[in-house]
Chains A and B, each alone.
Chain A
Amino acid sequence: MTDLSADPQTERRMNRIDLITGGVFAVLGLAIVYLSWTMPRLEMRGIHPATVPGLVPGLLGLALAFCGVVLGLKAYREGRGAGGWSDLLALFRTEEAGRFCAVAGLALVYALVLVGRLPFWLASAAFVFAFIVVFETWLSPEPRSLLRSTFLALVQGVIVGVVVTLVFQYGFLVRLP
């Protein structure tokens, strides 16, 4: 269910976001229409012209562009007033933004860098360890002692890494990356 709370700052922010995303969807939709229009129509194979591969993506692109324009226009009409853009920029300086960057950063480094370069169990253990330590000490409102957190995180990391690897490698016969 969507969040129905409507404090004015959040609404103003949402309004500016809708204005931007409306534009993005409109451009994306038109780009898809262009790609669909220029898609091969397979005349050489003698297919019926009403069944060209670009037909449905083109129609969907048009629909997306139309919805994007309506979304942007609606946001523009409702969203006049001062402070909107600065509210939006402030969003990137909140504590929540910092916490998001930490999770996303750790998750991406693990899946895109560590997995495949290190043995799977070690990569997973390192990820679990780093995640727990970061969120229990650095980003916690009530930080735990670093030593205790580090020790327990290390134990959990190694257990998770080894168990997941063993279960998938030998239980499900998956050749892990």
Chain B
Amino acid sequence: MPEGLSLLGHGIAHFLTWEALFNLAWASLLGIVIGALPGLTATMGVALLVTLTYKMPPDQAILCLMALYVGAIYGGSRSAILLAIPGTPASAATTLDGYPLARAGKAGMAMGIATTSSALGTLVGIFFLALIAPWLAEFALRFGSYEFFWLALFGVLISGRLTAIEDPLKGYIAGILGLLAAMIGMEGLHAFQRFTFGVSALGGGIDLIPAMVGAFGFAEILAVMKRRFTAELVTSDDRVLPRLADITRYWRTTIRSGIVGTIAGIIPGVGEDIGAWASYAAARRASKERDQFGKGSIEGLVAAETGNSAVIPGAMIPTLTLALPGSAAAAVLIAAMFIHGIRPGPLLMTENPAFLYQIVGILLLTTIAITVFGLSLTKLLVRVLLVPREKLMPVVYVLCVVGSFAITQRMFDVYVMIAFGLIGFVLREMRYPMAPLVLGIVLGELLDVNLRRGLLLSDGDVTPFFTRPISAVLFAIIAMTILMSLPMVSRRVTDLFKRLDSQRPAG
């Protein structure tokens, strides 16, 4: 523990330089602006910023990316409250109570509460990140090929299951498509080129950054411009700085939402939107004022904003210790870490233990930055919301093109961006979630290589995949996830629980 605290101190002190504080300030402010603008999401912002920071030293680049990520997830609350349009999908639950509060002349109060809740949510998440990540990394050192195969499969499946609640089948299909995209190019065991069809540029496989810029940038531009835009900006001149009593009054909701958000973050590929919805639902169930939810409940706003912000540190837990992205933006962060020579995974704590605590330090400093900006720059952020999207979107698209091109300086990556943009748009219109697709691309190689390496080690025998203790547990969870997504199984299990519940008072 003392060693951990000392590393944490170093992690924070590492970024107390003028250069780092400057980077922190612009990146978190840019993040807030990106988040506040409907149509620009955190994932798109982080993916585009990778291309702008790849020449920076690794620690400064990761600082900028993390600060932008945290800022964007918080920034989404501004448009959710003032326009009733979530700036990013993470703020959809914020709209439910934030906008009614603004309409009731309490826009300032809602923005203030959203700011402090986001900050507190991040702090709860940071606490669990610092607590769980070192332990999980040590535990993951016991993982071999068999376990990593199941882990990769679990990541894609659970992401597919939880991001497509309505129809898990579409989540699974999105995941399989992502895994198949990862099969293109040279495979990692025998250096054989698969599915290249004679195109030499495909030999290196599909790079994640252009694919993400397409799926979250170009696809988003298409989706935003397709619709007509009608929104009414509601502001008021009431006090933004919240009173201490307003913050402490809902401390139970804050802690509960922080924990729910962190758990949503830890689950691979389940992002801030699910974290916000889950903590909102949990708060409503436990609240004494549940009839006020959706009509301007401060508790509802606290739950949604704490929940989505706690996801970020939560998502960093599997991202850093298992190289399993906790959210879509975390997938981009993994790609960025590889670009900068940092290898996330179980060996991170052995090879580079300071890095984990640097991430904790970055998150702590960014929390301070978003609180200061959020409570002080209200007028500026309202002006940002008024930027017409007809003027903004072409600029974003130019950045998508140049950003995809910049890293390896070849037009092929621009074509990848366009292809993923069009495919991503069509899939989203057909209600396929994007997160499992992204997870599939990231985890495809891990799944492929570890399945075949496992089979090689066991001389073609599949039993170790089911008999090693950790493998068996992972397999059981996967089987349960798939079974529970079959309507007839989930109906029967729910019926069984209901029956047991109704018998409880009698027994």
Q: Which A residues are closer than 8 A to B by beta carbons?
A: 1-4, 14, 17-18, 21, 25, 32, 35, 39-40, 42, 45, 47-51, 53-57, 60-61, 63-64, 67-68, 70-71, 74, 95-96, 99-100, 102-104, 107-108, 110-112, 115-116, 120, 124, 127-128, 131-132, 135-136, 140-141, 156, 160-161, 164, 168, 172-177
Contacts and interface: CB of A to CB of B under 8 A. Distances in A.
Interface residues of B, number: 63
B460 interface: yes
Contacts of A40: 192
Most buried by B among A4, A18, A53, A102: A53
Given A53-B190, A141-B228, 19 more contacts: A4-B166, A48-B455, A51-B452, A56-B183, A56-B451, A60-B179, A60-B180, A70-B169, A71-B173, A95-B228, A99-B225, A100-B226, A127-B397, A161-B398, A164-B399, A172-B52, A174-B405, A174-B406, A176-B402
Interface string B264-283: 00000000011001000000
A176 B179 contact: no
Most buried by B among A25, A50, A111: A111
B394 A55 contact: no
A176 to B, nearest CB: 7
B164 to A, nearest CB: 7
Contacts of A95: 228
A160 B399 CA distance: 10
Contact of B401 (A68, A115, A131, A136): A115
B56 to A, nearest CB: 10
Contacts of B393: 103, 131
A128 B395 contact: yes
B399 A60 contact: no
A132 B390 contact: yes
A92 to B, nearest CB: 12
A50 B460 contact: yes
A50 B452 contact: yes
B173 A67 contact: yes
A21 B428 CA distance: 13
Contacts of A63: 172, 176
Contacts of B177: 64
Interface string B225-245: 111100000000000000000
B158 interface: no
Contacts of B397: 107, 110, 127, 131
Contacts of A50: 452, 455-456, 459-460
Given A48-B460, A56-B448, A103-B226, A156 B431 contact: no
B195 interface: yes
A8 to B, nearest CB: 16
Which 6 residue pairs of A and B lie closest in terms of their CB atoms, listed nearest first? Answer: A131-B394, A50-B455, A50-B460, A135-B390, A51-B452, A56-B448
Contacts of A176: 402, 405
Contacts of A115: 401, 411, 414
B342 interface: no
Contact of B391 (A17, A107, A156): A156
- Determine the main DSSP class of B at the interface with A: helix
Interface in B410-439: 411, 414-415, 418, 421-422, 430-431, 433
B222 interface: yes
Contacts of B179: 60
Given A21-B430, A111-B418, A64 B391 contact: no
B398 A2 contact: no
B225 A103 contact: yes
B165 interface: yes
B391 A132 contact: yes
A58 to B, nearest CB: 10
Contacts of A104: 222, 422
B92 interface: yes
A96 B180 CA distance: 31
A160 B398 contact: yes
B194 A1 contact: no
A71 B55 CA distance: 45
Nearest to B487: A74
B76 interface: no
B402 A39 contact: no
Contacts of B173: 25, 64, 67-68, 71
Contacts of A25: 173
A107 B398 contact: no
B74 interface: no
Contacts of B227: 96, 99
A43 to B, nearest CB: 12
B277 A57 contact: no
B406 A32 contact: no
A29 to B, nearest CB: 8
A90 B422 CA distance: 21
Given A51-B452, A67-B172, A164-B402, A108 B418 contact: yes
Contacts of A1: 89, 92, 273-274, 277
Nearest to B170: A71
Contact of A128 (B394, B402, B455): B394
